[in-house]
Chain A
């Protein structure tokens, strides 16, 4: 089983910080117009959200793993609800690599695998180095083509 690059924690912590800011802002506005308790409410809310977000990010990193197996891609993830997904190569429609601004700053990339399924139709593998992401994309693509043959994807 392959684990993600440790730097992905940074990406997720940044996400958690942004979320904490939004929560703090919301609490500030609520305090100003409805509650009227004091500004400390906003600070506490933001701090709480940040702590939860950071803990979540760290746990997420520890749980996330994936493996390119013989016939399928297998992923394990999820902090609260654990989700293990099997994506057979035959079902892969196309594969993308993505790099958001924070990921670029951390020197990371994500691979997104699309299937025609109704639920979980796209699976994202975050926290890969750009080289690994490109290699994985290439590998998945060739495996998908190889296993397709005569068979229709749907």
Chain B
């Protein structure tokens, strides 16, 4: 199969534009410095025409030499204009199939299709661009063929002849799991102020002059500036979120999850349920107050930070807490967890930790005051020490873990409470770690690592600050349960 013919002009124009802009910038920077000879207008026009022709020719060649084929074994892609590459992706290794279309592509009926497998850092196969219908057909066909191949493997060799009629089931109906309502989208957009934007505000004070006499003026102006910036950042965050999650829908087709979202750029993709690594439920303080939560379904497909939502496209951005739990149960049926908290002495550790942090901050401010004479009361952060017991208690109260029959569930964080659900048969390694501070109080942390790509950012399931003995017990329990689950799966397969 070939790419869509319209992909040639589309690629040529988009590539040409970006190349052109770069060249113009280089030209502007270098002009007048004498690095490049002054060119007459005809020469410039000639160069431009040559560039356009070369780009177009390259894209035509790319199109002519790009070929893909979907078979029962996998997807074969032969590509490359000068150096050729033949790639075969086995069907059962495919994790996610993502389709994206921006406004122009939608008008032209084009779509970009990306296939993810667990290996490697980058997207394994990327078709730029095929027709939207073709992309949807591939998505469906990959699922269908995968099921057929699996069915054949289970049924054994003798069934191979009847496979075509017997194993092939009628096309599955699509069952809608969740649709983001207009109200929820509005709430989500309004609440989507990302705390990370605050780091931009840190540059604010640098801009204020340290001229004596106008300090008060600068302070008032600074506060106003910061407030305006905060409002602007909040508005940007709201608009971005609105565009990203507009028309979000999550549905289930047989053994796959399908999602759709986006206002200007539409995304839709599929995730096989058997590839789900971890479920993450997030509730920040505000969401908790009003009974909302967010759910992310994590797979091993993406490289770190590759996707806007950090490794999970099938994330329910906002829904009522009950709805989120229901959805999570639908994806991965787990028992409602009963969390056991860390021992109470962990709170003393948090008090010590926060106090140390405040002392460190005061130290830095003291140094700044000694050098720049600003800020004047450098010991101000020390007043916050009074609040550390409260903070410590909140931290402690939100931590917990629960190791049930089939899943281990961990919970952490007050500002952004994160609950992670990991099925034992998804566990890759179990790590028990103990820092010197933890050693003093006989505490330890157990990290349950999966192949989920979201885990790269240190967001794997962690049971923090357990009693040393409990931690060792949990470490061994998770390992044992993994073996039990795998044994069960194997005997199920044998029985079939």
Contact = CB atoms under 8 A, between A and B. Distances in A.
Nearest to A71: B483
B358 interface: no
A80 B455 CA distance: 23
A82 B320 CA distance: 41
A82 B275 CA distance: 32
A13 B493 CA distance: 52
B105 interface: no
Contacts of B118: 116, 154
A118 B451 contact: yes
A87 B429 CA distance: 5
Interface string A121-152: 10100000000000000000000000101111
B452 A118 contact: yes
B453 A118 contact: yes
Interface string A67-94: 0000110000010111111111011000
A81 B436 CA distance: 6
Contacts of A150: 489-490, 493
Nearest to B95: A154
B11 interface: no
A115 B450 CA distance: 10
Interface in B438-453: 439, 444, 447, 449-453
Given A88-B479, A117-B455, A83 B428 contact: no
B451 A117 contact: yes
A6 interface: no
A120 interface: yes
B408 interface: no
B490 A149 contact: yes
A151 B429 contact: no
B430 interface: yes
A118 B430 contact: no
Contacts of A78: 433
A141 B483 CA distance: 18
Most buried by A among B431, B447, B455: B431
Contact of A80 (B436, B452, B460): B436
A86 B460 contact: no
A87 B431 CA distance: 9
B430 A119 contact: no
Contacts of B398: none
Contacts of B476: 86
Nearest to B439: A82
B94 to A, nearest CB: 11
B404 interface: no
B479 A120 contact: no
B434 interface: yes
A123 B449 CA distance: 13
Given A85-B429, A87-B429, A152 B92 contact: yes
A83 B439 CA distance: 12
Nearest to A83: B433
Contact of B432 (A84, A91, A115, A154): A84
Contact of A154 (B451, B456, B460, B478): B451
Interface string B447-487: 10111111110101000000000001001101110110010
A123 B479 CA distance: 17
A85 B429 CA distance: 7
A10 to B, nearest CB: 27
A119 B456 CA distance: 6
Given A119-B456, A154-B300, A88 B429 contact: yes
Given A78-B433, A118-B428, 9 more contacts: A81-B436, A83-B432, A85-B432, A86-B431, A86-B476, A88-B427, A120-B429, A121-B428, A152-B92
- What 10 A-B pairs are tightest by C-beta distance, nearest first? A118-B455, A117-B428, A117-B449, A86-B430, A84-B432, A154-B118, A82-B434, A116-B451, A86-B479, A81-B435
7 contacts: A82-B434, A84-B433, A117-B455, A118-B449, A120-B431, A150-B493, A154-B451
